Chains A and B, each alone.
Chain A
Amino acid sequence: QVQLQESGPGLVKPSETLSLTCTVSGGSISNYFWTWIRQPPGKGLEYIGYIYYSGTTSHNPSLKGRVTISVDTSKNSFSLQLTSVTAADTAVYFCARGGFSAYTQGHFFDHWGLGTLVSVSS
């Protein structure tokens, strides 16, 4: 059974860079899309972006180019960097796997990490 685990600092200062890693176990990172999704406290889910195992990326344009997603196939992990953070970036950050079906690739999320809370505060 595929499992995902987020790791990284729980507190980031305003204007600095948020960095998180998602480690995948129980399966290979190859041949799948890997995504980041966040949820501000008490609010709904927001899609951040994805990376394909080969390195192709895409991110939510609402984040205005502050997002970098990278993959390390040797460590079976992928990472998120979000620059110039503000209090509005305080959220639980989830990593998830993009599923494959006969009709879609990567557009639904079939395995999720438990999530990690990142607070932005000085």
Chain B
Amino acid sequence: QSVLTQPPSVSAAPGQRVIISCSGSRSNIGDNYVSWYQQLPGTAPKLLIYDNNERPSGIPDRFSGSRSDTSATLGITGLQTGDEADYYCATWDSRLNTALFGTGTRVSVL
């Protein structure tokens, strides 16, 4: 059902930077705040970013978020092997009246 599109995978070498995009529409990203989650293998998702660009306590500033029009991005700098995980964007959809998750992006550290 997801209408939030993410690239299936991104990869980079340790220490490098990756950017994950999340593309939506006016009724979701265009009208509501975006959050981002990290899901390590076999674990529950963990909140990384809320309100487009805010980090919860304990999340390092290597993780950053932004939103522009109907798209959002998650940036990870100083990539570490421990960052290998699936990443999901999420937001509310005002037309469907439900929360939506993105299709998910797997980050690999080369």
Interface residues of A (CB under 8 A from B): 35, 37, 44-47, 49-50, 58-62, 94, 99, 101-104, 107-110, 112-115
Question: With A and B bound together, what is the CA distance between A64 and B91 in angstroms?
Answer: 21
Question: With A and B bound together, what is the CA distance between A35 and B2 in angstroms?
Answer: 18
Interface residues of B (CB under 8 A from A): 1-2, 32-33, 35, 37, 43-47, 50-51, 54, 56, 88, 90-92, 96-104
Most buried by A among B32, B45, B56, B100: B45
Q: Are A101 and B54 in contact (CB under 8 A)?
A: yes
> For B2, what are the chain A residues with a Cβ–Cβ distance below 8 Å?
44, 46
Q: Are B45 and A45 in contact (CB under 8 A)?
A: yes
In the complex, given contacts A61-B98, A62-B1, A107-B35, what are 14 additional A-B residue pairs having Cβ atoms less than 8 angstroms apart?
Answer: A37-B101, A45-B104, A58-B98, A94-B45, A99-B47, A99-B50, A101-B54, A102-B51, A107-B91, A107-B99, A108-B51, A109-B35, A112-B45, A112-B46
Q: Nearest chain-A residue to B52 (Cβ)? A: A103
Q: Are A104 and B51 in contact (CB under 8 A)?
A: yes
SS of A interface (majority): strand
A5 vs chain B, min Cβ distance (A): 11
Q: List 15 A-B contacts (CB under 8 A).
A: A37-B101, A44-B88, A44-B101, A44-B102, A46-B101, A49-B98, A99-B50, A103-B33, A104-B32, A107-B35, A107-B91, A108-B47, A109-B35, A113-B44, A114-B44
